[in-house]
Structure 1
Amino acid sequence: MLRVHDKYVGLPSSPRASLGMQHPLPPLGHAMGKGSGAETRALLRAVSVLPVMMVAAIVGIEYYVFVTEHWLPAFQRAVGLFVLLRLVEIVCFHCFVGCMLVAYYKVVVTGYVTPTVVQRVNDAMQEALEEGGGKEAPVLMGCRRCKQLKPFRAHHCNHHCPWVANCVGEGNYKFFFQFVVYAFLALAMIVVALVGPFQTALFNDDAPRGTADFSALMVVGFVLGGALDVSLLGFIVVHSYLLMHGTTTIECHEYGRSFPFSQGWRKNVSLVFGESTTDWLLPTSLKREKRYVLHPVELEHLTADRFLDESSDQEDDNLL
């Protein structure tokens, strides 16, 4: 039997309970309401592309600075074993940049997932109850704003990231994390390579302006790359913690350090990145089997009396 609450509707759960994020965002038309016009939706979609273009511009600037301002002059001056060192450097840099671009592309283009499968509701509910030992029927949140049904453990419209013009969810969380990691590594190489010229340009009064020893673009690349690298390091630390504990940002606020859905750090990571080492390292696509049956631990946390009330739900919405 399906249970309907003010903001919860009984439906099958989304696959896997230990992911650090949930399903991507429904189309903008849903989130804007029925009365919104096509022109407004088109405008919002156009505006959402601007951060992506900004990311592309930053990548282009940093790449140009590293290759033309650092690597080419260093390679031309290299002799002996230093030639091999420069070749290894440029190969590693392009590996990081290549993986970053592939991961970013997959984060952006991953489509939204509709969590409702009406024709399987009754069977899924019955199976879920049997797994849970005959407990109350589980329920699923329904978004009051976009009128869409949300999968288990999903937040309102999920976690929308303007820098990827998409939501970070189960389908692209792996690519989001890999994009952040590889962007951090590539920027770290740039910062390390430019720290010497930057110090010379900033502290050496005898450094000639406009020569090969000094470049304003090099300083811009160093400052911008350093600031972004520090920010990305913070993202890596936070999401590594969430990933290894099988929790989300909202659940971390709600449950603290209890981690009710954790299945061990290795299993938590495997559920997101895959089983093989190759899948962990490379932005490869995974074949995910959809699951419409709730685990007992999910049933325990899915009864209506355990859900947050209206005030706390509004508080969670404000977190994002």
Structure 2
Amino acid sequence: MYRSGTVMAWNVFKFCTALRGLGSIMILLVLGVVGVTYYAVVINNYGPGLEAGGTEALLAFFVLILFHCLLAMLLWSYFSVVFTDPGIVPPNWRPKVDEERGDTDPLTATEFPAELENRGIRFCRKCNQLKPPRCHHCSVCGRCVLKMDHHCVWVVNCVGALNYKYFLLFLFYTFLETSLVTLSLLPHFIVFFTDDDIPGTPGTLATTFLAFVLNLAFSLSVLGFLIMHISLVAGNTTTIEAYEKKTTPKWRYDLGRKRNFEQVFGTDKRYWFIPAYSEEDLRRIPALQGLEYPSKPDLDAQEL
């Protein structure tokens, strides 16, 4: 029995180590897909269309402008998720209830008061520190992450309190961009199944075919993730919490769709569609910092 548990722990450790090693590979893969798409849309098809004149040139101009705008927002959002720390527990963080009790010494796993556990304050034995509300330990990153949603291999980072909005925008702009590419390359893709002579070299034709298939696949898959995360934001929950809520009759952090949305995107509409926050929102909305979350008054005393 002991050996079985040891083998399982070792396998999990190797799996987490493998995920860490995917870092630069996944970033290069994303950039590779972007490169293939850019070559197919701009270089092969719609770039030359600008010289055709008439309606074809107008269509090419519109597609290229929209393509570059969405691509810029996609890459901005993507690298914001990659390089933004999702949120870590501040050193020696203590819950407010501890300050009210007058305790000053850091709590350890052996002297953690049982009464605090009943009030929803948890302790991470792996990090040997207290865990703020909605905080979870990531086995891949090897640390506790504030309001952790999941560890995403595509962004080589955890998705948490400080970069969740950026992740949602990345999904949003990826869906728009891949949908645009799919629709714009569809006429060129249909040509493959006609009896007409297909213009272009084998290399350019293969690039167009590959770009269409990749963007169609990403568009459909990202749409599913986007719908799922929209529902999570509407209920003010995360992927991890959605699973935990199966045993929770009421969710204390669900304050209504408007306030739930503001806890992720802020109240300043000018910043809703860019991976950034206004200084006023960062100052006024504690949830954006990942440590404090308003909850329903009648459920304040319940355990998370």
Q: Normalising by structure 2, report the TM-score.
A: 0.72
- Secondary structure of 2:151's counterpart equals strand
Matched with 1:53 is 28
Distance 1:184 1:155, change over 3 A: same
2:91 aligned with 1:100, yes or no? no
Matched with 2:173 is 182
Using the alignment, how far apart are the partners of 2:56 and 2:73 within structure 1? 26
Using the alignment, how far apart are the partners of 2:159 and 2:64 within structure 1? 31
Asked if the contact 1:197/1:214 (under 8 Å) is kept, the reply is: no
Matched with 2:61 is 87
Distance 1:140 1:237, change over 3 A: same
Asked if the contact 2:234/2:260 (under 8 Å) is kept, the reply is: yes
Using the alignment, how far apart are the partners of 2:100 and 2:294 within structure 1? 10
The CA deviation string for residues 11-70 of structure 1, in whole angstroms up to 9 with x for no partner, is: xxxxxxxxxxxxxxxxxxxxx99xx9xxx98x9755422111111111111122111122
The CA deviation string for residues 258-316 of structure 1, in whole angstroms up to 9 with x for no partner, is: 443111111111111111222111222354345558754663332xxxx6xxxxxxxxx
2:156 aligned with 1:155, yes or no? no
- Secondary structure of 2:34's counterpart equals helix
Q: Which letter maps to 1:263?
A: L
- Secondary structure of 1:160's counterpart equals strand
Q: Which letter maps to 2:64?
A: I
Using the alignment, how far apart are the partners of 2:180 and 2:293 within structure 1? 46
Matched with 2:214 is 224
2:231 aligned with 1:241, yes or no? yes
Matched with 2:265 is 273
The CA deviation string for residues 208-230 of structure 1, in whole angstroms up to 9 with x for no partner, is: 47549971110000001100111
- Secondary structure of 2:158's counterpart equals strand
- Secondary structure of 1:77's counterpart equals coil
- Secondary structure of 2:88's counterpart equals coil
Q: Which letter maps to 2:301?
A: E
Gaps of 5+ in 1: 1-31, 128-135, 308-320
- RMSD of aligned Cα (Å): 3.3
* Number of residue pairs the alignment of both structures matches: 256
Asked if the contact 1:124/1:293 (under 8 Å) is kept, the reply is: no
Matched with 2:45 is 70
Equivalent residue for 1:207, pick from 187, 192, 197: 197
Using the alignment, how far apart are the partners of 1:112 and 1:280 within structure 2? 18
Using the alignment, how far apart are the partners of 2:209 and 2:200 within structure 1? 12
Gaps of 5+ in 2: 1-8, 102-114, 139-147
Task: Using CA pairs under 8 Å that are at least 6 residues apart, name the structure with larger relative contact order, 1 or 2.
Answer: 1
Shift, 1:125, TM fit: 4.8
The CA deviation string for residues 79-124 of structure 1, in whole angstroms up to 9 with x for no partner, is: 1x55444333222211111111111111011125332453764666
Distance 1:172 1:87, change over 3 A: same
- Report which stretch shifted further, 213-222 or 286-295: 286-295
- Report which stretch shifted further, 271-280 or 146-155: 146-155
Q: Normalising by structure 1, report the TM-score.
A: 0.69
Equivalent residue for 1:173, pick from 164, 179, 203: 164
Using the alignment, how far apart are the partners of 1:164 and 1:219 within structure 2? 26
Using the alignment, how far apart are the partners of 2:274 and 2:171 within structure 1? 13
Using the alignment, how far apart are the partners of 1:243 and 1:227 within structure 2? 25
Using the alignment, how far apart are the partners of 2:32 and 2:215 within structure 1? 13
